Structure 1
Amino acid sequence: MPIGLYIHVPFCIKKCLYCDFTSYPVSGRGVKVYLESLIREINLYGSTLAGEDKIISSVFFGGGTPTTLPPASFRTVLDEVRASFSLAAGCEITAEANPGTVDSAGLAQLLEAGVNRLSIGVQSFNDGLLGVLGRVHSAGQALEAVRLARKAGFDNINLDFICGIPGQSLHDWRETLNKAVEMAPEHIAAYGLQLEKGTPLAEAASRGEICACPEETEEAMYQEAIEILTAHGYQHYEISNFAKPGRQCAHNLVYWLNRPYLGLGPAAHSFIGGSRFSNDASLERYSDRLSREEYPVENKTLLSAEDEMSETMFLGLRLTGGIDLDLFHKRFGRRAEDIYRREIEGLIDKGLLEMSGGRLCLTKKGLPLANIVFREFV
């Protein structure tokens, strides 16, 4: 089976107050060391993987902020990927972008390098709420970034938004959603804010300096997103993701369908050959190990069949289309209805799951309670 390729770019102009991903302040020396090491890692896997593990179905530059890299570096990296792997026909190549880090010339270079999908982290069209999140861009810059991306020739754009921001009202959220559909992106991601332990925003909430969004308000925001976006032609295909027909994110589907993927860069995660493993999060140690032609892997776990079936269940249920029960049987040689009979029947009785047309799906009631459902399969 072809694999997804994730490339972690661990640099930001400034870390957002809610972010717990691995990132470092961008610097010329750091970028140089990173790119040299990344190319070594691409070549290392290119020389050791074989068969369908060398066919790439999608590429995703995530971060951090990939667009803090010099635009020309995307061509360098993608040329190395093409030389070491085979890109499938129609391969989706996504780069995440912060509105404060793009311009016309840089976007044109991204497109010329082969990036054919842009994911812009807008988060809100309210400048006050962007300040709460610690974002480095304004609402005006976000609007301009979308305009510039269209002018450069991008015809597949995702916009990311966050609901449940401290101080955010339902009216604020509705205004952002309406502005989003005016921009007519092909894809919209609408996530609830997670106050991750150790982040400045979570610590401010624990000290009482800000008030977390009430749970009932966040649930109302979620329902508002579903109503507004589906009314404007977006298909609600995953818990937090909406797409125009045929514009679902191919790379994220790799994760939700529990298919294999290779992660490159510091702290990147992989799922290859039935094993999950992650790279060292330290840029220095990551680079040092690759300079010695060593894999920069820090943790590796070989999954049992039971582990892989469990993950396939709770990841697949994130999709509104749910799990194809026949495909599950074909993959594992066992039927999910038999393995998880007690769990499935209990959740159906509670109105959180439904089985129809050979698929097992979350119900409308189950969508906002998805984490309760997922725990039954862990």
Structure 2
Amino acid sequence: MVGVADIGPYFARIGPNPLRDAFEARRAVMPARGGGPVEPDEVQGRWRSLLAQASERGKRLAYIHVPFCANHCLFCGFYRNAYVGAQASGYVDLVIEEIGREAGAAAIAGVPVHAVYLGGGTPSALSADELSRLLKAVRASLPLAPDCEITVEGRIIHFDPEKIDACLEAGANRFSIGVQSFDTQVRRRQGRRSTREEAIRFLADLRARDRAALVIDLIYGLPGQDPEIWRQDLDTAAALEPDGIDLYGLNLIPGTPLATAISAGKFPSIAELSDLGGLYAEGAAFLRRRNWRQLSNNHWGRTTRERNLYNLLIKEGADCLAYGSGAGGSLGGHGYMLTGDLERHAMAVRAGEKPIAMMTGRDGNAALRHAVTAAFEVGHLELERLERIAGRDLAPLLLPLLQQWQQAGLLVLDEGTADLTVAGRFWYGNLVSAFHDLLNGPPRPARAAA
């Protein structure tokens, strides 16, 4: 019988302000934990077998990783390589070869790709020719759906009109621009070289082209970004009339230059966890007053052009074809990660192999876990739907936890249907992780704040 001992560690603190202190720490939504690792000497054979099998119908994604940046932004945990022209050009050739070689496989050719994402790193660090060749190869080799969302992630620096036009002509229809903050001093502390005025001018020019969705990414909680600067960031972003705005809380990743600098006392202290929730709530209220649609916990759309398709489908567990050094994907119930070492990636592709560094096997609980993740991501969970997927009664395990979270102000519960409050959306990673733990077998949960 399920008791407090099973779910008690996941209870939230009941207090006057759940945005501040419902939990001791924010938990990240981790990748699949179910299927065990495939032995290294079996990986290539398993991959060839997966490619040879016709995949089930369903929306499909593709992710292309560009592991180059103009410089290492202090807060970023994804930096790998500085952009060097000759090296990047050869890398693009290899990725195009990787995409083209698999294009005719039964697992790939028969299922439309509904969203493509060029991420990094910094894809806009590539030259105009490199971006064009890569995007054209994607369009020529992959079975893209007619309304496929094709996103290029970029930064303001070095993303000149020639590159933008090259992306547009090659088929990109969505740009996700990492602004983080418009304040010049806050930006420069993080390694962002362009000024507030340069950032505004770049985004206004991109918006004026009116040929692709424009999404502005903002971060709250950066060093030196006080509440007034955060309000100015929101005002500036909205005034530019992009198609979408993303709001992310600063995640201080151990080992990043920012974490090292703060521990050494070289930067203003970042916002406390107890303050981040208020900044998130302020941003959510700001956009709600302007009638922006909340597409997911961190994403808002102003126009119908912004669909946020890739981000929503990845949470639903859609198969994701991965290409390029450091990319991660899934196919046929298997997860895989490509090597982040450029030399090893090149050697594998030239040898006719998929440059897989790690693969996990099928996970019988994946559909249930993805349903949980996708539901909390959009702030609406139906217990009955989870039970249909699981094929068993989940209410004795999960309903008492949902009821406790309702007492704590994280959601509103109505006959097994839960809608997250603003506080629940801020802490959604904790809610998802708790359900994952309980449905998979708990590792070590974060406790409610004392």
Give the TM-score normalised by the residue count of structure 1. Answer: 0.92
2:98 aligned residue:
41
CA contact (8 A) 1:256 1:319 kept: no
Q: Does 1:197 align with 2:254?
A: yes
1:277 aligned residue:
336
- Higher relative contact order (Cα pairs below 8 Å, separated by 6+ residues): 2
SS of the aligned residue for 1:101 comes to coil
SS of the aligned residue for 2:103 comes to helix
Distance 1:365 1:119, change over 3 A: closer
Q: Does 1:188 align with 2:188?
A: no
1:232 aligned residue:
290
In the TM superposition, what are the counterparts of 1:240-255 in structure 2 within 5 Å? 240-246=298-304, 247-255=306-314
In the TM superposition, what are the counterparts of 1:90-169 in structure 2 within 5 Å? 90-169=147-226
SS of the aligned residue for 2:365 comes to helix
Distance 1:54 1:44, change over 3 A: farther
Alpha-carbon distance in structure 1 between the residues aligned to 2:320 and 2:181: 31
Single out whichever of 105-114 and 300-309 deviates more from structure 2: 300-309
2:68 aligned residue:
11
Q: Which residues of structure 1 form unaligned runs of 5+?
A: none
Alpha-carbon distance in structure 2 between the residues aligned to 1:215 and 1:11: 31
1:74-116 per-residue CA deviation (whole Å, 9 max, x = no partner) reads: 3322332233221101111110121112222221221111001
CA contact (8 A) 1:325 1:335 kept: no
Distance 1:216 1:350, change over 3 A: closer
Question: What is the one-letter code of the residue matched to 1:186?
Answer: D
The percentage of counterpart residues that share the same residue type is 28
Alpha-carbon distance in structure 1 between the residues aligned to 2:365 and 2:149: 31
TM-superposed CA distance for 1:199, in Å, is: 0.4
Alignment counterpart, residue 363 of structure 2, candidates 290, 301, 304: 304
Figure out how many residues of one structure are paired with residues of the other and give that number.
377
TM-superposed CA distance for 1:240, in Å, is: 1.4
Alignment counterpart, residue 277 of structure 2, candidates 219, 222, 235: 219
Alignment counterpart, residue 352 of structure 1, candidates 410, 431, 436: 410
Q: Which residues of structure 2 form unaligned runs of 5+?
A: 1-57, 437-450
1:260-303 per-residue CA deviation (whole Å, 9 max, x = no partner) reads: 21221111110221111110001111111011010111111124
2:117 aligned residue:
60
Question: What is the one-letter code of the residue matched to 1:20?
Answer: G
In the TM superposition, what are the counterparts of 1:263-274 in structure 2 within 5 Å? 263-274=322-333
SS of the aligned residue for 1:377 comes to helix
Aligned-pair Cα RMSD in Å:
2.3
TM-superposed CA distance for 1:342, in Å, is: 4.7
Give the TM-score normalised by the residue count of structure 2. Answer: 0.78
1:295-342 per-residue CA deviation (whole Å, 9 max, x = no partner) reads: 11111112422244234313431223x235566556555566467445
CA contact (8 A) 2:312 2:374 kept: no
SS of the aligned residue for 1:376 comes to helix
1:43-94 per-residue CA deviation (whole Å, 9 max, x = no partner) reads: 2331334267642101111111111112233332233223322110111111
